[in-house]
């Protein structure tokens, strides 16, 4: 009985695991065409004993282990080793929503909230729009779920603080969203009760993940992010009018722009409680305001300032709005207690009136039911401070509206609707590389219509399910030289040299476009057509001269054997006279090459093309890939894990000793 009294509401998201049993699975945003294939591919690599270092099916060979989104080292993602994707994905989401809710509830208690206030916080933490939006961007949710636990560990005042903070910091990193993780680290430094142990804990946490952090940093340095990527970095910001979405669902609309945060909805009751609870900690509110400004800067002419602050490394500025709003949630509990005590009259009245205005300005069919009615009730309750039960009912109605609005963000769909019965382009499943141009704005709108379109014009990682090998990648960081190569290729027929040396044996184009030279049509489907590029080079070829964009490729010999296998590339060549080996693989750091058993360095040519001069005769080129810094990173990680266990054990022993002394 005592246990049920303190059970709370954090466990409610775990009910989501019933969805697969009823034939449904969450399918919001990137879950189906990005994270599900990614999880499946990683699980298959591990199960078959293949080191998950490289993905040769995307981006001309992209660094897989270096990308924390792949969750190779993240224990909750290992569910996919044992469960079918619908069950594993749903359970992964449910566990992290519950973990976030429990952490927020404990933080609310730490901030002085009553049991009732903690219940309100827990319910808000798994139903708020800014939280449920991240379900469709799974790595954001998984990192976000560990932030309250990082803060809780930093606020402990005993020797357990550093090791627990190290563990939470490491798990947050492995969750896969470095930008959210970095904000969490900054929050920990700001709220820690003892700065020294907090810094030790953070340092240990970083050391624990060194095995992946080092390859990640190399991946970013040689990638396509930075000030030059402004076109991508500034997409998905919030216009000032979009902030109405905090008060009413559907107020954050596209308006011809790319929308990253489909919902910011908290509603008047929850927002008022959050502001009441955080009022005495104005520095937290200042941080939230700063994050909100960052989310909006590109839409108010501050794109240059945003790039200067973030270094061009952060995409989708509205991500900062989600983090800022979630940072308010721990204060909801304390604010709910103050609201029930009769406080917040003028704040509640002001927020309620603004909410009613926002509702009146929109056309969302459920806006009045989910936001307007709770706001109207709060307006009445604001001037009846003695009616405690009525004020409590207002909170319940507000939470119910938020839950109802948030359910659609899960986008539950029948499992059978998400399975492709057969590859969309079966002819292109022969291992040949597939090229599609960068999608224009109208194509992007078409791709958003469903999975069928995204299989016709492959995006995300659906190609892993369909057996296609893509020249492009939708990874958060693409190799910089690959990005430059593809940008030139996209310019069209005048850049045919770049397409052919890309090794793109297959090309997918709209059926309305003219047939390019040296290509033949193989199939038409859904307004698209699959073309065979007759001039495409092999991924390893032998030419008469080094690569030169002004000179056509001329055969200098024959590649008799070409094998691409996981993290290895092997080619055997025969030539009557000396020539040049061309290799069309993304030049990511980590490849090591040997020619006839002797280590060699490939010269960098235009775009991704690398080359090596070889004498006449028969030769064997062998390349092996391993993430850069893997061994030293693994040693640092192992030492940090041992150190963390030692410090934690010492802390427990010290606490037990103190307890014994007190008892005596």
pLDDT in tens, 550-578: 988 899 999 999 999 889 999 999 998 88
C-beta atoms surrounding 622 within 10 Å: 16
Q: Tokens representing 640?
A: 């940090």
pLDDT value at residue 662: 36
**Confidence check: pLDDT of 423 > 70:** yes
Calculate the alpha carbon distances from 183 to 140, 179, 291, 342, 635 in Å: 12, 7, 10, 34, 27
Neighbours of 446 (CB within 10 A): 18
Residue 300 counted as domain residue? yes
Structure tokens at 85: 């994707």
Residue-wise pLDDT tens digits, 220-264:
999 998 777 777 788 889 999 899 999 998 755 555 566 788 899
Residue 182 neighbours by CB under 8 Å, 6+ apart: none
Confidence label for 664 from pLDDT (cuts 50, 70 and 90): very low
Do residues 512 and 610 both lie within one domain? Answer: no
Examine the domain organization and report whether 48 and 139 are in the same domain: yes
> What is residue 238's DSSP assignment?
P
Task: Please indicate, yes or no, if residue 284 is contained in any of the structural domains.
Answer: yes
Residue 639 lies in a domain: no
Please tell me the distance from the alpha carbon of residue 497 to that of residue 504, in angstroms, as a whole number.
11
Exposed, middle or buried, 646 (CB in 10 Å: 0-12/13-18/19+)? Answer: exposed
- Residues 458-508: tens digit of each pLDDT: 989 999 999 999 999 999 999 999 999 999 999 988 899 999 999 999 999
> Which CATH number is 598's domain given?
2.60.40
Q: What Cα–Cα distance (Å) separates residue 69 from each residue in 94, 146, 218?
A: 18, 15, 16
Q: What is the pLDDT of residues 125-163, one digit of tens each?
A: 999 999 999 999 999 999 999 999 999 999 998 888 999
Of 490, 505, 533, the domain-final residue: 533
Distance CA 175, CA 77 (A): 9
Q: How many domains does the chain have?
A: 3
Question: Measured between alpha carbons, how far is 1 from 565 in angstroms, rounded to an integer?
Answer: 58
Which of residues 246 and 650 earns the better pLDDT score? 246
Residues 321, 238 share a domain: yes
d(CA 576, CA 615): 9
Q: Which of the four pLDDT bands, split at 50, 70 and 90, describes residue 352?
A: very high
Q: Which residue would you say has higher pLDDT here, 650 or 329?
A: 329
Structure tokens at 76: 């909750």
Q: Say what percent of the chain tops pLDDT 70.
A: 95
User: Are residues 139 and 273 part of one domain?
Assistant: yes
User: Measured on CA atoms in the order 299, 302, 307, 313, is the torsion positive or negative?
Assistant: negative
Confidence class of residue 419 from pLDDT cuts 50, 70 and 90? confident
CA distance 580 to 573: 11
- Measured CA to CA, the distance from residue 461 to residue 471 in angstroms comes to 12
Last residue of a domain, one of 384, 412, 440: 412
Same domain, 346 and 453: no
Residue 356 to residue 353: CA distance in whole angstroms: 5
In a domain, 163, yes or no: no
- If DSSP codes are grouped into helix, strand and coil, which group holds residue 277? helix
492-527 burial, b at 16+ Cβ within 10 Å, e below that, comes to eeeebbbbbbbbbbbbbbeeeeeeeeebeeeeeeee
Please check the confidence at residue 16 and state whether its pLDDT lies above 90. Answer: yes
Residues 349 and 471 placed together within one structural domain of the fold = no
Together in a domain, 431 and 527: yes
Please, what's the largest Cα pairwise distance for the chain? 97
d(CA 55, CA 64): 6
CB 57 within 8 A of CB 469: yes
Between 81 and 236, the more confident residue is 81
3-state secondary structure of 67: coil
Q: Is the pLDDT of residue 4 over 70?
A: no
Q: What is the predicted pLDDT for the residue at 653? A: 58
CB 88 within 8 A of CB 79: yes
Query: Could you tell me if 542 and 556 are in contact, meaning their C-beta atoms sit under 8 angstroms apart?
Result: yes
**pLDDT tens digits for range 580-592:** 999 999 999 999 9
Please tell me the pTM assigned to this model. Answer: 0.94
Neighbours of 92 (CB within 10 A): 24
pLDDT of residue 424: 92
453 and 561: one domain? no
Inter-CA distances, 53 with 41, 58, 65, 212, 479, Å: 12, 13, 5, 11, 15
Give the pLDDT score at 421: 73
pLDDT for 594 beyond 50: yes
**Half-sphere exposure (Cβ direction) of 160: Cα atoms closer than 13 Å:** 11
Has residue 48 been placed in a domain? Answer: yes
pLDDT at 235: 85
pLDDT tens string 499-539: 999 999 999 999 988 899 999 999 999 999 999 999 999 99
Strands (E), 215-276: none
pLDDT at 451 > cutoff 70:
yes
pLDDT higher for 660 or 412? 412
Instruction: Tell whether the model's pLDDT for residue 76 goes beyond 90.
Output: yes
d(CA 144, CA 96): 9
Same-domain pairing of 235 and 129: yes
Residue 109 lies in a domain: yes
Tokens read off for 653: 């022993």
> What would the mean pLDDT of 297-319 be, rounded to a whole number?
90
Averaged over 40-63, what is the pLDDT?
96
d(CA 562, CA 542) in angstroms, rounded, equals 12
Say if residue 507 is in the same domain as residue 585: no
Helix intervals (H) in 438-590:
441-447, 451-456, 462-466, 480-489, 496-501
Asked whether 93 and 32 are in contact (CB, 8 A), the reply is no
CB of 582 closer than 8 Å to CB of 547: yes
Cα 298 to Cα 294: distance, rounded to the nearest angstrom: 8
**Same structural domain for residues 529 and 553?**
no
Is there a contact between 130 and 140 (Cβ–Cβ < 8 Å)?
no
Residue 659 pLDDT grade (very low, low, confident, very high; cuts 50, 70, 90)? very low
Residue 617 gets the label, from left (phi > 0), alpha (psi -120 to 50) or beta, of left
User: Which secondary-structure segment (H or E) carries 593?
Assistant: strand 591-595
pLDDT at 255: 53
Position 448 pLDDT exceeds 90: no
Given this model, what pLDDT does residue 651 score?
Answer: 57
Which of the listed residues 393, 412, 431 is the one where a domain comes to its end? 412
Beta carbons of 162 and 647 less than 8 angstroms apart:
yes
By mean pLDDT, which of 118-122, 277-281, 623-627, 656-660 is the weakest?
656-660
DSSP 58: S
Question: Does residue 164 fall inside a structural domain?
Answer: no
Instruction: Tell me what pLDDT residue 251 has.
Output: 56
| 193 has a pLDDT exceeding 90 | no
Residues 234 and 347 in one domain: yes
Whether the per-residue pLDDT at 114 is higher than 70: the answer is yes
* Residue 511 domain boundaries: 423-533
Q: Which tens digit of pLDDT belongs to each residue from 603-646? A: 999 999 999 999 999 999 999 999 999 999 999 999 999 999 88
Q: Tell me the pLDDT of the chain averaged across its residues.
A: 91
User: Is 194 part of a structural domain of the chain?
Assistant: no
**For position 330, what pLDDT does the model report?**
96
Question: 178-191 and 319-328 are packed helices; what angle lies between their axes, rounded to 10 degrees?
Answer: 40
Q: Are 567 and 54 in contact (CB under 8 A)?
A: yes
């Amino acid at each position: 009985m005592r246990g049920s009294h303190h059970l709370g509401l954090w466990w409610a998201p775990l009910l989501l695991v019933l969805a697969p049993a009823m034939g449904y699975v969450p399918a919001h945003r990137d879950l189906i065409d990005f994270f599900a294939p990614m999880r499946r591919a990683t699980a298959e690599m591990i199960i078959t004993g293949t080191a998950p270092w490289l993905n040769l099916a995307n981006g001309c060979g992209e660094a897989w282990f270096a990308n924390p989104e792949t969750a190779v080292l993240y224990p909750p993602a290992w569910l996919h080793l044992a469960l079918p994707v619908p069950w594993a994905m749903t359970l992964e989401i449910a566990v992290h929503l519950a973990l976030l809710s429990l952490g927020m509830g404990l933080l609310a208690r730490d901030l002085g909230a009553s049991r009732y206030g903690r219940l309100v916080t827990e319910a808000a933490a798994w139903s708020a729009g800014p939280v449920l939006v991240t379900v469709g961007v799974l790595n954001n949710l998984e990192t976000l779920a560990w932030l309250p636990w990082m803060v809780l560990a930093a606020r402990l005042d005993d020797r357990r603080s550093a090791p627990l903070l190290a563990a939470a910091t490491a798990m947050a990193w492995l969750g896969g969203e470095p930008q959210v993780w970095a904000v969490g680290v900054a929050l920990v430094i700001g709220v820690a009760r003892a700065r020294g142990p907090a810094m030790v804990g953070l340092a240990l946490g970083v050391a624990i993940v060194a095995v992946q952090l080092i390859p990640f940093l190399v991946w970013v340095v040689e990638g396509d992010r930075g000030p030059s990527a402004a076109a991508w970095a500034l997409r998905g910001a919030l216009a000032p009018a979009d902030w109405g979405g905090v008060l009413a669902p559907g107020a954050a609309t596209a308006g011809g722009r790319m929308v990253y945060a489909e919902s910011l909805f908290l509603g008047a009751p929850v927002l008022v409680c959050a502001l009441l609870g955080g009022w005495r900690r104005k520095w937290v509110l200042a941080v939230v305001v700063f994050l909100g400004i960052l989310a909006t800067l590109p839409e108010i002419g501050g794109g240059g300032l945003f790039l200067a602050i973030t270094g061009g490394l952060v995409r989708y500025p509205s991500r900062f709005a989600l983090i800022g709003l979630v940072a308010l949630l721990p204060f909801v509990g304390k604010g709910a207690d103050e609201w029930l005590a009769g406080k917040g009259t003028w704040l509640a009245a002001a927020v309620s009136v603004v909410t009613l205005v926002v509702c009146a300005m929109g056309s969302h069919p459920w806006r009045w039911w989910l936001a307007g009615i709770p706001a109207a009730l709060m307006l009445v309750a604001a001037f009846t401070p003695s009616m405690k039960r009525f004020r409590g009912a207002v909170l319940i109605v507000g939470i119910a509206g938020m839950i109802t609005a948030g359910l659609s963000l899960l986008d539950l769909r029948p499992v059978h609707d998400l399975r492709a019965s057969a590859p969309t382009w079966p002819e292109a499943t022969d291992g040949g590389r597939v090229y599609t141009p960068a999608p224009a704005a109208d194509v992007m709108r078409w791709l958003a219509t469903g999975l069928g379109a995204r299989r016709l014009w492959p995006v995300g990682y659906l190609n892993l399910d369909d057996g296609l090998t893509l020249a492009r990648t939708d990874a958060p960081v693409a190799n910089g030289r690959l990005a430059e190569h593809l940008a030139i290729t996209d310019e069209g027929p005048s850049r045919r040299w770049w397409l052919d040396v890309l090794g793109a044996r297959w090309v997918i184009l709209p059926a309305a476009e003219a047939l390019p030279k040296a290509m033949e049509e193989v199939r038409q489907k859904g307004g698209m057509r699959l073309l065979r590029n007759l001039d495409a080079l092999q991924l390893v070829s032998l030419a008469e001269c080094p690569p030169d964009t002004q000179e056509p490729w001329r055969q200098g010999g024959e590649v008799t054997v070409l094998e691409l296998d996981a993290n290895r590339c092997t080619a055997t060549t025969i030539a009557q006279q000396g020539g040049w080996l061309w290799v069309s693989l993304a030049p990511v750091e980590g490849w090591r090459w040997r020619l006839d058993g002797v280590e060699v360095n490939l010269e960098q040519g235009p775009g991704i093309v690398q080359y090596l001069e070889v004498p006449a005769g028969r030769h064997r080129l062998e390349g092996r890939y391993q993430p850069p810094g893997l061994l030293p990173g693994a040693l640092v990680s192992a030492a940090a894990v041992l150190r963390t266990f030692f410090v934690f054990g010492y802390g427990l022993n010290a606490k037990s000793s103190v307890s014994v002394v007190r008892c005596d």
